[in-house]
A and B are shown apart, each in its own frame.
Chain A
Amino acid sequence: MSATHPGSGGYIVPTRDVASEELVLNMGPQHPATHGVLRVAVKTDGEVVLDCEPMVGNIHRCKEKIAENVTYVQFMPYTDRLDYLAAMNNEECYARAAEKLLGLKLPERIEYLRVIFAEAGRISSHLMSIGTYGLDVGAITPFLYCFREREEANHLFEKISGGRMLYHYMRIGGVARDPDDAWIQRLLQFLDQVEEKMDEYNTLMTWNKLFQERTMNIGVLSREKALAFGITGPALRASGIDWDCRRDDPYGIYDRFKWEVPVADGKHGTLGDCWNRHYIRALEMKQSISIVRQAIDKMPKANPDELPPPESPHKPFLAKGVPRSLQAPKGAEVYVRSENPRGELAFYMVSDGGKSPYRVKVRGPSFCNIALLPEVTRGYLLSDLVAIIGSIDIVLGEVDR
């Protein structure tokens, strides 16, 4: 008597003719493949995963509570530490939420800078996810190639913001510093370099037969399940659902650019498998490169009337009329979402009229996406579990907050 598990890749779960025991494996919190301090309790039969349960909360730092105790400006560096691989995108979302709450309007140039930095941050973050996914399935070299390009991005961000990972570049009502032409040129060079080197990752990973064998038809997430679980980001689009917050609920100035939302079509592998999730990221990088180039082309010069140059290099580059002490009207309430590299990040903020928000709720994409782990891993092998965790691409800093 043997049975294939429903929805599994067709592995045969061993029969009970021989006396056998289920093995409970504690994967993590100290495990190389859990991308941080995630602990997964895996119930296995030999190598076959019967059930698994992600246990989160190991690095819970009360970020939402901290927000209630610091001012609007002071919470900005904390948002860097949510999804620390895409700090620019977190900052951008929080800055927009706070600006909406405070009723600030942004000058054109700041809007363009926001888009440029958010998309450059997305490229940098996807480089990391693609690289570590290679590491998860045993290809170590593409990881270091991706890091080489990410290093360039780090140099760029360091040059402009002073930080290599936790940038603190976006400010409420502006940005930290206005990039000069030399920096913009370097950014364009970086984009060219990424575009050129992406072939290398694709040779070593995407189109490699062994990589495809490891990732195709594994961890299949159906359309219905993706919707039911509230999955967002590349994982949703890999299941064939054409939804991107930047296009379908446009924020900022995203409606001014021409670009496509990459959606998996199921030509390779199964719709919603690990390979498609990986491939969508690679395609998204290309779109981000195009958006950054368009934004650089269209970006206007700063108008000194609405965007005066800062008095000293220490001062941030803010729009005119941003008060020094920020206070939102009493009872103001906003829910602002943006497309993070890992899915939809949203800030829900309520004000009681004080200097700090009354309540901040973060809707983190990694936290919502990790819920699908038990659902898609049942019946696969232990090796596939690692491949699936990697393809969902979680960042524990944001899962635990």
Chain B
Amino acid sequence: MREGLTNLLSGLPQWLQDIALPVLFGLIPAVIIVLGVVTPVGLVGIWGERRIAGKIQDRVGPDRVGISLGPIKSRLFGLGQSVADGVKLLGKEDFIPPGGLGLMFLCAPLVVFAGALALFAALPFGPALWAADPNLGIFYLLSVGALEVLGVLMAGWSSNNKWSLLGAMREVAQVISYEIPMAIAALCPVLLAGSMKMSSIVADQTNGLDLWGLHIAAPEATALGWNLFAAFPFNIIAFVVFYICALAALKRAPFDLPECESELVAGFLTEYSGMRWSLFFLGEYAAMWAMSGIATVLWLGGWTGPLHGFLAGVDVGPIPGGVFFGTLAFVVKTTILFLLMIQIRWTLPRLRLDQVMSLCYKYLIPAAMLCMLASGAAALLASGGAGS
């Protein structure tokens, strides 16, 4: 198809071809893939959260909305609930608070959603299955992840509501602080791999365990090559630090101060209604999954590991086994981290703002620093000392 289209376009002037070809074969498929992943992830994520919350709390959760097509009637475990809620929200009044900054208020959910969307662009789902693989992959992801703060600050500031403003201030203070340990923790795998490119970091995790200069060769399927076990035990700590920071950056409980309903009514979301409100939610759940994905790539070997190692040769129909099982492994690992986020939310009470800060500056940053030093030392030992 690609050749056919190229031939078709060859009649056009060269400058137009230069623009049209990347757009046709790069941008448009990338956007379709990313959008096609983000929205379902958000919808299923919301449904999953509600079902899991129900199960933890000894109740059922949404289980009614399914399909009813003639003779086919099924509740589908309530999978349609998010869609039904979305349709309901579309019908709500698009309320803009008087006295607020209208345009800013309208744009804020888009900024938040765009931030979550952009995370997926550089997320490697499987071998060669990504929208983009920039050289500065990690750097890009961490920067784009911070875009959400801007949207939340815009939302809180423009709402003309004291609760919203307090929520936004909390969000900014919290997320800006947690960026520091998060970035430092993310540097550990970067140091080990010697690259910021996501695919290189994954590739680095297939060739056995480096234990303080001692190299233990092990096949990929043993999962010993994962960064989690490198510079033992410091990368486990780094992984935990990154995970906690991800919770805080995503304002998930116990760090959900910006929107905590028992103190700030709904925080920065107080004045939002309808589709704009649900965009915040879609963005939050998509970002949750993306952050779990980043943690998977950095420490849990991305698509590599037992599933990919054993079954890479088994093709599934037209799909090469490496791609299919690699993607499956990535999705499974990411989803487990995602579910853990949900379970944590329904287990722990919320922290206070000063406690959130002291956790960051007193515990996480020193721990992340230590892990980075250890990872650097381990990388140095593995490469044969300072001289080489």
Contact = CB atoms under 8 A, between A and B. Distances in A.
| Touch A–B, Cβ below 8 Å | yes
B348 A384 contact: no
A185 to B, nearest CB: 24
Interface in B143-166: 162-163, 166
Indicate the member of A33, A47, A211, A384 with the most B CB atoms within 10 Å: A47
Contacts of A382: 166, 263-264
Interface in B342-388: 346-355
A383 B349 contact: no
Contact of A138 (B56, B254, B265, B353): B254
Contacts of A47: 166, 170, 353
B348 A139 contact: yes
B187 to A, nearest CB: 28
B58 A138 contact: no
Contacts of B162: 23, 25
A393 B354 CA distance: 25
Contacts of A205: 349
Contacts of B53: 140
Interface stretch (A50-58, A141-149, A322-330, A364-372): A141-149
Indicate the member of A46, A135, A137, A383 with the most B CB atoms within 10 Å: A383
Nearest to A138: B350
A213 interface: yes
Interface string B229-263: 00000000000000000000000011011001111
B348 A32 contact: no
B57 interface: yes
A161 to B, nearest CB: 26
Indicate the member of A140, A144, A386 with the most B CB atoms within 10 Å: A140
Interface in A208-224: 208, 210-211, 213-214
A144 B53 CA distance: 11
A137 B262 contact: yes
Interface in A143-167: 144-145, 148
A302 interface: no
Determine chain A's interface SS by DSSP, over half rule: helix
Nearest to B345: A140
Contacts of A138: 253-254, 256, 260, 262, 348-350
Nearest to A205: B349
A383 B352 contact: yes
B2 interface: no
A134 B350 CA distance: 10
A137 B254 CA distance: 10
A107 to B, nearest CB: 41
A123 B261 CA distance: 27
Interface in A29-53: 31-33, 46-47
Contacts of B353: 47, 381, 383
B276 to A, nearest CB: 21
A33 B53 CA distance: 21
A206 to B, nearest CB: 11
A213 B351 contact: yes
Contacts of B348: 138-139, 208, 210
B254 A141 contact: no
Interface string B259-285: 011111100000000000000000000
A136 interface: yes
B56 A141 contact: yes
Interface in A357-391: 381-384, 386
A84 to B, nearest CB: 21
A9 B232 CA distance: 40
A11 interface: yes
Classify chain B: how many residues form its interface, as a range: 20 to 34
Nearest to A208: B349
A261 interface: no
A376 B359 CA distance: 26
A13 interface: no
Contact of A214 (B57, B163, B352): B352
Contacts of B265: 31-32
A134 B257 CA distance: 15
A283 interface: no
B166 A137 contact: no
B352 A134 contact: no
A140 B262 CA distance: 10
B263 A210 contact: no
Given A11-B354, A138-B256, A144-B58, A214 B263 contact: no
A87 B16 CA distance: 79
A128 to B, nearest CB: 16
A13 B260 CA distance: 23
B2 to A, nearest CB: 52
A214 B350 CA distance: 8
A334 interface: no
Indicate the member of B163, B257, B265, B349 with the most A CB atoms within 10 Å: B349
A266 to B, nearest CB: 22
Nearest to B173: A47
A204 interface: yes
Contacts of B163: 25
Contact of A144 (B57, B166, B263, B349): B57
A214 B352 CA distance: 7
Nearest to B262: A33
B59 interface: yes
Contacts of A208: 348-349
21 contacts: A25-B163, A31-B265, A32-B261, A47-B166, A47-B170, A47-B353, A138-B254, A138-B256, A138-B350, A139-B347, A139-B350, A140-B53, A144-B57, A144-B59, A148-B58, A210-B350, A210-B351, A214-B349, A214-B350, A214-B351, A383-B260
Interface of A: 11, 23, 25, 31-33, 46-47, 134-141, 144-145, 148, 204-205, 208, 210-211, 213-214, 381-384, 386
Interface of B: 53, 56-59, 162-163, 166, 169-170, 253-254, 256-257, 260-265, 346-355
Given A138-B348, A145-B57, A210-B348, 13 more contacts: A11-B354, A33-B262, A47-B170, A134-B349, A136-B262, A140-B57, A141-B56, A141-B346, A204-B347, A210-B349, A214-B349, A214-B355, A384-B352
